[in-house]
Amino acid sequence: MFDLVDMFLLRRGIPADDQSLSFRRIDGHPASKVIYFLPWHTPFTLARCAAFLPLDFLAAYEMPPSIVSSEPALCAQAMLRLVADAEQVLAAHNVVGKDALIIGLSVGSYPATNLASRIGARVCVVASADRADLVIWESFATRIVKQRAMQKGYELAHYSEALLGTHPAEKLRCLGPNSLFVFGRRDPFIPAARGNGLLRAIDMHAPRAHIVKIQGGHFKTLIASGRYQCRMLGIESTRTWSSRMPITFQPLGVPSSATEQ
């Protein structure tokens, strides 16, 4: 069933706007030390219903459209804006890097690894790749963005130049101990070469990190990761979403319940 969901997601369209830097932050439990970065084009309500987020969190971020953009420079700018905001949230709640848990789901693993490396936090990376430029150029899931970029005259070299130094594989040395990487063995969103590239980088730069491989595709891997997220905090994996969690909605000129930047 879950692999069928992957096929449906691969065939869906991508919104015309891939250049907006605006993102939504959902503020959660003020005592939590968990930051979530959600998958591409995945609203918080959908991620919650799909059980991608089993933990109480301090903040959860929906990705801006430009995190995967036909303008190469915007990809890095979008990521850096997310990282800067999340770092400010952690600082405002007096959460230091060694106490934080940063969780990156799919495309959300891009800002997650950058933030965790920057502050020395543990990270849980789910369904990720080694290099953002190559996954944009090689993944079937990003084919429409690639086509738009090529129509503008961009090539892979432009993405490689714009994203140099920000790739997940380049941000492993300073991660907190007992970080975790979760891979799907049949993930159609992540080209095999990109997943294998990340595995090699982990072996070289973060050999003490834990690796889990799920027998399934992208969607199943995201759901199955919830069990391992819970284990990282030492709680039962059967826990469901807490309806008592105090989510703070801070609309800034938008009708939806979130903080938009």
pLDDT the model gives residue 235: 80
Number of domains in the chain: 1
Angle at which helices 109-119 and 72-92 pack, to 10 degrees?
50
Alpha carbon of 151 to those of 140, 144, 148, 154: distances in Å?
17, 11, 5, 7
What would the two tokens of residue 26 be? 């959902």
Q: With 80 as the cut, is the pLDDT of residue 260 above it?
A: no
Q: Which two tokens stand for residue 41?
A: 């084009």
Q: Would you state the structure tokens that stand for residue 239, as one six-digit string?
A: 């826990």
Report whether 63 contacts 39 (CB < 8 A). yes
Backbone φ and ψ for 183, nearest 5 degrees, come out as -120, 150
- Enter the pTM of the model: 0.88
**Strand 59-62 with 122-126, pairing:** unpaired
Domain that holds residue 99: 2-260
CATH number at residue 25: 3.40.50.1820
pLDDT tens digit sequence for 152-203: 999 999 999 999 999 999 999 999 999 999 999 999 999 999 999 999 999 9
- Stretch (H or E) spanning 256: none
Task: State pLDDT tens for residues 34-90.
Answer: 999 999 999 999 999 999 999 999 999 999 999 999 999 999 999 999 999 999 999
Query: Given a cut of 50, is residue 145 above it in pLDDT?
Result: yes
CA–CA gap between residue 91 and residue 86 (Å, rounded): 9
Distance of CA 60 to the CA centre of its chain: 10
Structure token pair of residue 91: 């600082």
CA 104 to each of CA 15, 62, 70, 71, 141: distance values in angstroms, whole numbers, following the listed order: 22, 11, 22, 23, 18
pLDDT digits (tens, 9 = 90+) for 78-116: 999 999 999 999 999 999 999 999 999 999 999 999 999
